[in-house]
Amino acid sequence: MKFVHIADMHFDIPFTTIAELGNKRRLEQRDVFKKCINYVKENNIPYLFISGDLYEQEYVKQSTIEFINNLFKEIPNTLIYIAPGNHDPYLLNSFYYNFEWNENVHIFNKLEKIKVNNDINIYGFGFSDFYERNSEINNIELDEKEKINILVVHGSLDSGYDDNREYNPLTYKYLKEIGFDYIALGHIHKRYISEDNRLVYPGSMISMGFDELGEHGMIVGDVQKDNINLEFVKLDNTDFVEYELDISSIYTQEDLIEKINQINWNNNKMYKIILIGYRRFDINLINIKKLIDIENIIKIKDKTKIEINVEQMARNINLKGIFAKQMLEKLNNTIDKDEKEKIKKAIEIGIEALEK
């Protein structure tokens, strides 16, 4: 059986971390979703799995829901299975409950098994609230193992943190033992495919910001009882990239701005510049951002260190000199390597604080 698997579209998300790009990214969300539906249509894909967080319950507009459903109408021969997640739970005031979706759409609002035909069973579970601590999916027992059994669900796999345990904690060991032929997961925005290709997070369909680096899109699959083939198809043309710039050999803010403007930036990428190395001048990130003329440089972060000559500074008769002299004495009286590194770090922090 051929299918497309997507998750974490987050329609109408505010994009608070990249607020200046919010409107642009919302339009790009729509373009990406259209690409997905067009692919399904052009390739006659019989199944579309959407593993949660299709939209933002708190912010979504009815016009957005109508946009989504109108695209679903363009693929009437495709069965669409949606497993609501923590951002789009199946609530009584949700569009999942109140909106009349196209007839080819099935929305899970509980743990459910659907017998599609004599060969395929689709299992699914939908969040009924913004948190889900126990969906009991780990306890499923397949009663027709000769069929192709698919699970569509939103949740956190092998959660190690208490926060993740609030979002339908699932265990890889138990899921594998159950024997599903494919597990279509959502919630984690980074793509993950298990070694046997049976358990997959497709990642978010578009990058939400600099905490979601790399390519984003959808999974196209063909699953059989004894074989499965998967392909990742990139849909988001805009990549978010972190670019480290060592400023150790730059002596003025003007030189830094010239250096940034001279770099050959890719117009299809959004950049976060991370300044590293030793600085020899005061860095004002607001001024630098205003003065560079590269539109797709979105953020600049300062991770530089002060170039400190402790011996020279200790000779000064001022507060920094007194501090440097005391710390230098501690440094010289310490033989432990780890302790020396801690003192050096304390010197950096102290001098930086005194310069403010």
Tens digit of each residue's pLDDT (9 = 90 or more) over 335-355: 888 888 888 788 878 877 776
pLDDT confidence band for 162 (50 / 70 / 90): low
Q: How far is 23 from 29, CA to CA, in rounded Å? A: 10
- Say yes or no to pLDDT of 160 above 60: no
Identity of the residue numbered 55? Y
The model carries a pTM of: 0.82
Across the beta sheet with 47-50, what order do the strands follow? 105-107, 79-82, 47-50, 2-6, 217-223, 228-234
On average, the pLDDT of the chain sits at 91
Tens digit of each residue's pLDDT (9 = 90 or more) over 77-113: 999 999 999 999 999 999 999 999 999 999 999 899 9
Among 194-198, 307-311, 324-328, top mean pLDDT goes to 194-198
Domain 2-234 falls under CATH 3.60.21.10:
yes
pLDDT at 356: 62
Share of the chain above pLDDT 90, in %: 62
What residue ranges do the domains of the chain occupy?
2-234, 239-305, 310-355
pLDDT at 244: 96
- Say yes or no to pLDDT of 324 above 70: yes
**20 or 192: which leads in pLDDT:** 192
**237 or 314: which leads in pLDDT:** 237
Helix runs in the chain, H state only: 22-42, 62-73, 95-98, 172-178, 253-262, 285-291, 310-313, 319-332, 337-355
- Say yes or no to pLDDT of 161 above 60: no
